């Protein structure tokens, strides 16, 4: 969102805090002319696509995000993030008005007694909007076959596959899930993500969110004691009621009274009956060298993980924590460790730094 804000301030894109799905007539006319001159008539879609926004609480006061100048296809800047985001917006906006791609799909079913084997093929007949987006189709060309034709058996290979759990949320999939549930607005998605990271409820691991011990403990406590507040329909319903108040269709005093009557009971019950949640600290299997009594544990502070004595605050021993990455440095063979930038982003480096200066964003 910050990168988009800088592009907007430079006048390179239209207002970006919107989830509208259609462009203005002026932009459509300019983009059509550009496609006609650059790629030819066959790449211009004869009709304009129109979509209906299915997201709840959609903010469509502005048109969809697009470049302000269609002739500026590539942004000349030293900021790689701005360049990549601008080119993504440009490609998606222009491709929106291009002719659709044409693919030929083929499905072959092979029968062997009671068994069925299926082969799928696909070939690109016309690239259409793929010419601008740059997306590639993995073509699979099947040989010519006729119905009833017998094929020789050249062997059968058995491969065991296990059902994998669903992937953890990334920034994009989390925002998509919030949209489907009707939670939040385009202007609040970035603060939601930055808040759960800043409060260390989750941490990023190779581009995806992984819950921390603190996040799991906080979640269990809240779900146990505040079921109504933590339910997904509550947040979506609250936002709808706030919209009704803004339109003058709902009395805010009545809404707050209805909410507080139930919430007050939950707070009093939690204060009276709930137990304080303890975030279990991970032991590293060593005794504290200072007090000789406590165990050394891994804790999380403002600047990441560190090692301290389990008897804190009686014993204030601390030391730096080196989180092993689980692989060897590809340059010198020493243990690789997990590090963080000033912004809190994880990366991998060699434990022999500064003798070895290998570093990378992903595990090799």
Q: Which one of 8, 15, 86, 169 is the catalytic residue?
A: 15
Is there a contact between 297 and 316 (Cβ–Cβ < 8 Å)?
no
105 strand-pairing partners: 122
How far apart are alpha carbons 258 and 263 in whole angstroms?
9
> Could you tell me the domains of the chain?
2-95 (1.10.290.10), 103-133 (no CATH), 171-273 (1.10.460.10), 282-360 (no CATH)
The average pLDDT across 236-243 equals: 83
Q: Is the preceding peptide bond at 284 cis, omega within 30 degrees of 0?
A: no
With cut-offs at 50, 70 and 90, classify the pLDDT of residue 229: confident
- Name the 3-class secondary structure at 103: strand
With cut-offs at 50, 70 and 90, classify the pLDDT of residue 57: low
Assess whether pLDDT exceeds 90 at residue 340: no
Is there a contact between 304 and 346 (Cβ–Cβ < 8 Å)?
no
How far apart are alpha carbons 31 and 70 in whole angstroms?
6
Q: Given this model, what pLDDT does residue 362 score?
A: 82
Assess whether 15 carries a catalytic annotation. yes
Q: Given this model, what pLDDT does residue 122 score?
A: 92
Strand 282-287 and strand 102-112: the pairing is unpaired
Q: Given this model, what pLDDT does residue 339 score?
A: 81
- Name the 3-class secondary structure at 337: strand
How far apart are alpha carbons 244 and 37 in whole angstroms?
48
């Amino acid at each position: 969102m910050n990168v988009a804000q800088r592009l907007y301030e430079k006048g390179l894109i239209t207002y970006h805090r919107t989830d509208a799905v259609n462009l203005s007539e002026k932009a459509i006319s300019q983009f059509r002319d550009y496609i006609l001159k650059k790629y030819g008539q066959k790449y211009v879609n004869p009709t304009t696509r129109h979509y209906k926004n299915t997201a709840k609480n959609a903010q469509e006061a502005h048109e969809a995000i697009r470049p302000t100048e269609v002739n500026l296809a590539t942004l000349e800047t030293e900021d790689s993030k701005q360049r990549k985001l601008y080119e993504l917006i440009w490609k998606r906006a222009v491709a929106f008005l291009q002719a659709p791609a044409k693919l030929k799909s083929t499905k072959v079913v092979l029968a062997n007694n009671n068994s069925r084997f299926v082969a799928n093929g696909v070939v690109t007949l016309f690239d259409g909007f793929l010419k601008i987006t740059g997306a590639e189709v993995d073509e699979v060309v099947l040989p010519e076959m006729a119905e009833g034709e017998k094929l020789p058996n050249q062997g059968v290979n058995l491969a065991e596959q296990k059902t994998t759990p669903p992937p953890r949320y990334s920034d994009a999939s989390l925002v998509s899930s919030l949209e489907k549930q009707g939670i939040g607005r385009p202007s609040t998605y970035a603060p939601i993500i930055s808040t759960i990271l800043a409060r260390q409820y989750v941490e990023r691991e190779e581009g995806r969110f992984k819950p921390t011990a603190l996040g799991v403990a906080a979640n269990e406590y809240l779900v146990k004691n505040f079921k109504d507040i933590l339910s997904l329909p509550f947040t979506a319903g609250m936002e709808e009621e706030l919209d009704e108040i803004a339109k003058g269709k709902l009395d805010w005093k009545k809404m707050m009274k209805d909410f507080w009557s139930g919430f007050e009971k939950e707070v009093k019950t939690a204060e009276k009956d709930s137990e304080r949640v303890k975030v279990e600290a991970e032991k590293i299997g060593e005794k504290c060298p200072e007090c000789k009594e406590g165990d050394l544990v891994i804790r999380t502070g403002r600047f990441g993980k560190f090692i301290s004595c389990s008897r804190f605050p009686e014993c204030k021993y601390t030391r730096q924590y080196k989180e092993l990455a689980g692989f060897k440095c590809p340059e010198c063979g020493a243990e690789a460790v997990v590090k963080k930038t000033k912004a809190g982003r994880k990366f991998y480096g060699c434990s022999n730094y500064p003798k070895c200066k290998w570093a990378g964003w992903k595990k090799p």
